Structure 1
Amino acid sequence: MIFNNISEAEKDPILGLTEEFKNDLNSKKVNLSVGVYKDDKGNTPTLPSVTEAEKEILNQNISKTYKPIDGDKEFTEKSIQLVAGEDLFSEINNTSFGLNTPGGTGALRLASDFLFQFSSKSKVWISNPSWPNHKPIFEASGFKVDIYPYFNSESNSIDFESLTSTIKKIPKGDVLVMHGCCHNPTGEDLKAEHWDEVSDIAKSNNLLVICDFAYQGLADGLDDDANGVRKMIRNLDNLIICTSYSKNFGLYSERVGCLIYNSKNESNCAPVLSHMKKTARSNYSNPPAHGSEIVKFILSNNSLRDRWKEDLNNMRDRIKNMRKLLVKELKNKGCSKDFSFIERQKGMFSYTGLSKDQVNALKKNNSIYIVNSGRINIAGLTTANVEYVANAINDVI
């Protein structure tokens, strides 16, 4: 039997740390590895707007029957509208569609499986560094994955010159994966003029861009965070956007995502949608419904939408405050390394530049859990533990 010859797979680098953290008996332990938002008490609460929406949905006694393969039409339209904004949405209404997917990961895998059917010789290019799951997702479909430069660890900033010089050489027809905002793991986002140049290169080289857009609203605001994506919608002939509602709605376990396709050629939409639905059918059949009902309900209700925006603003402000506090505490400790770049970065994550040995020392000596790359989840910091974390980092520098 094949089962007798199977050895254990490597643990997920992030979820494996979470298991270690759970088993750690140190009362001061801090988990800065897993990518979930936490409040100042260290909890991951259900957003008040989500709680209110769930109450209303329960009262409506909505059927639990299957959703269509591509999900609820109103949900996907609201998703496109959120990404594109009111004005642009009216322009692309007939040249775009969406599929409700099991989270952002489901959207990425659906895009990958679909593309491999029609372009199996293409290569997928991801940033260096990137979200650890990007490479396995595309490789699982059969793609070969390569990297383009993104981050300069010496200057703790984007190496835009190397980025552009590399993507200019990417063969026509290859796939370019971009982070829409809150780059994971670095927290360093492209500037407006960067998006213009990358978009122009992608168009002239006939590259297919997949934009992973998992953190809208957590950098600078819903519209500001979408500026780069909207530039690409306007400029590129074809674009795939993979959105997630795990972070900005706090719907992690509900698995709510959306794959959005936009084309300058309206006649592309029907055949592309038909094959994406066929691919989804053989993968997960149809999407989970509860989370998408919540998102749809909130985005369709002006009062709840405003409350959700307030919830989102509160999360974003707390993350920014934690960045400032960590930098301040490190400076107060007289740390020999300048960590001021952390305050400049966007979203939940920061690429600290800590080495693997330093990361291991933090876990061993202080029960502070960080992935080996040195990426930390800023949202895992609280006013109660930020000084403890700063002291520990200062000790290992």
Structure 2
Amino acid sequence: MLSNLKPQDPDKILMLMEEFKADTRQGKVDLGVGVYKDPQGVTPVMRAVKAAEKRIWEEQTTKAYTSLAGTPEYRDAMARMVLADVPQDRLASVATVGGTGAIRQGLELARMANPDLTVHVSDPTWPNHLSIMRFMDLPFVQYRYFDSDTRGVDFEGLKDDIAKAKRDDIVLLHGCCHNPTGANLTLDQWHEVIEILDRTGAVPMIDLAYQGFGDGLDADAEATRLVARSLPQVLIAASCSKNFGIYRERTGILMTLTGDGGARDMAQGAMAFLNRQTYSFPPDHGARIVSTILSDEALRNDWKDELEEVRNTMLGLRDQLASELRELSGSDRFDFIARHRGMFSRLGATPEQVQKVKDESAVYMVGDSRLNIAGLNRDTVPVLARAIIDAGI
């Protein structure tokens, strides 16, 4: 039986990681994998996370299952963090295995509700979005998003394309810090997107993987909250990997907002059913870390302070890189890097130029020219800037 299996296409980012490890050159720079690194190149355990884990270790008396949906403390804490004062009488939620699990469960839920579902997803988007949908044999189309000339959002193209979505289709949107481009919609543009969705009856599904990494914890959730207040049906897939730094704990949540209490209860039951079929009970350790931090004022404030340090470090690196490139190029054509938000920016370079940067300067980025800003430090920014100019980008 197993001999009948077919080889799977390798993940390009994971391949890049292995190639980087095998590179023996001194001073090599990894800007490929989407993980935050401090100026010393370490992905740290946040202070509040260490404190919360110590408290859990000291106080926890059982490792018994929680519930199919996860603990109410975690789900309530995440709802407050993501949605703030959005009325929650329409809200259903389940804990998931990371943000990726939330995406998968959200798509499964949407297909249960609409067997004729088509998903509309940005071009480009996080590659795993497309991989998951292909594996699910779920029809999808891509809407225009990134303008390679301006390195901003092709908003007119986006509007034209999502207006073609049918009632009860899913339009997958990045809540902030768009991956892989770093180019975000403005709040005024979000209002226009909402008008289109309201007119067509398509349902937004928001991937919120980087809350706190862009303009701040509340500012990064503002668009998601606006959508949640404005439309009768919304799906939200949120991750704690980046903003709590608990990547390996696989901590996420799927939230749905529905038109009434009956639909909410139906959605809650369906999501719990999907958890049962997929992995039975969701993992609890990461969720308990998050709920411990968010429910304790001192821990929450310390976490928010450290998250701001992370965010400001990335903004400083963006400004430094844009400044270096302005000086080397004698132009402002790279100023978009300072305007982008989150961990990533897409340079708009060709695969050949990306290869040249790797071969000649030992700087690794994804083939579509997505670079991880958090993989830089003050000493490697000039190395990248010179490599970009020498490659003719």
TM-score if structure 2 supplies the norm length? 0.97
Aligned mates of 2:332, 2:361 — CA distance in 1: 19
Partner of 2:97: 102
Q: Does 1:278 align with 2:273?
A: yes
Per-residue CA distance 1:3-36 (angstroms, 9 max, x = gap) = 3343432211211211111111112111101111
> Secondary structure at 1:253's aligned position in 2?
helix
The one-letter amino acid paired with 1:354 is A
Partner of 1:153: 148
Partner of 1:79: 78
The one-letter amino acid paired with 1:281 is R
> Secondary structure at 1:98's aligned position in 2?
strand
Aligned mates of 1:281, 1:222 — CA distance in 2: 32
Which among 117, 120, 124 is matched to residue 125 of structure 1? 120
Aligned mates of 1:151, 1:278 — CA distance in 2: 37
Which among 185, 190, 198 is matched to residue 185 of structure 2? 190
The farther-off stretch of 383-392 and 214-223 is 383-392
Q: Is the 8 A contact 1:112 1:141 kept in 2?
A: no
**Shift, 1:371, TM fit:** 0.7
> Secondary structure at 1:304's aligned position in 2?
helix
Per-residue CA distance 1:230-274 (angstroms, 9 max, x = gap) = 111111111110000000000100000000111121211111111
Partner of 2:231: 236
Q: Is the 8 A contact 1:120 1:142 kept in 2?
A: no
Q: Is the 8 A contact 1:95 1:264 kept in 2?
A: yes
Partner of 2:259: 264
Per-residue CA distance 1:135-183 (angstroms, 9 max, x = gap) = 1222323311110111111111111111111111222221100000001
Partner of 1:168: 163
Partner of 1:50: 49
Aligned mates of 1:284, 1:396 — CA distance in 2: 47
Partner of 2:368: 373
**Shift, 1:336, TM fit:** 6.8
Q: 1:43 to 1:196 in 2, by over 3 A?
A: same
Q: Does 1:68 align with 2:67?
A: yes
Which among 81, 88, 109 is matched to residue 114 of structure 1? 109
The one-letter amino acid paired with 2:37 is K
**Shift, 1:337, TM fit:** 7.7
Q: Does 1:307 align with 2:302?
A: yes
1:297-336 aligned within 5 A: 297-334=292-329
Aligned residues: 392
Partner of 1:361: 356
Gaps (5+ residues) in structure 2?
none
Aligned mates of 1:300, 1:50 — CA distance in 2: 13
> Secondary structure at 2:172's aligned position in 1?
strand
> Secondary structure at 2:150's aligned position in 1?
coil
Per-residue CA distance 1:66-88 (angstroms, 9 max, x = gap) = 22111011100111110111x32
TM-score if structure 1 supplies the norm length? 0.96
Partner of 1:134: 129
Aligned mates of 2:232, 2:92 — CA distance in 1: 15
Partner of 2:175: 180
Q: Does 1:224 align with 2:223?
A: no
Q: Is the 8 A contact 1:187 1:349 kept in 2?
A: yes
The one-letter amino acid paired with 1:159 is D
Aligned mates of 2:331, 2:320 — CA distance in 1: 17
Aligned mates of 1:63, 1:16 — CA distance in 2: 40
Gaps (5+ residues) in structure 1?
none
Q: 1:62 to 1:179 in 2, by over 3 A?
A: farther
The one-letter amino acid paired with 2:257 is N
Identity %: 38
The one-letter amino acid paired with 1:360 is Q
**Shift, 1:332, TM fit:** 2.6
The farther-off stretch of 48-57 and 75-84 is 48-57
Q: Is the 8 A contact 2:92 2:265 kept in 1?
A: no
> Secondary structure at 1:295's aligned position in 2?
helix
Q: Does 1:392 align with 2:391?
A: no
The farther-off stretch of 43-52 and 336-345 is 336-345
Q: Is the 8 A contact 2:314 2:373 kept in 1?
A: yes
Partner of 1:13: 12
The one-letter amino acid paired with 2:156 is E
Aligned mates of 2:246, 2:91 — CA distance in 1: 25
Aligned mates of 1:251, 1:107 — CA distance in 2: 16
The one-letter amino acid paired with 1:50 is V
Q: CA RMSD in A?
A: 1.3
Q: Is the 8 A contact 2:92 2:267 kept in 1?
A: no
Q: Is the 8 A contact 1:177 1:212 kept in 2?
A: yes
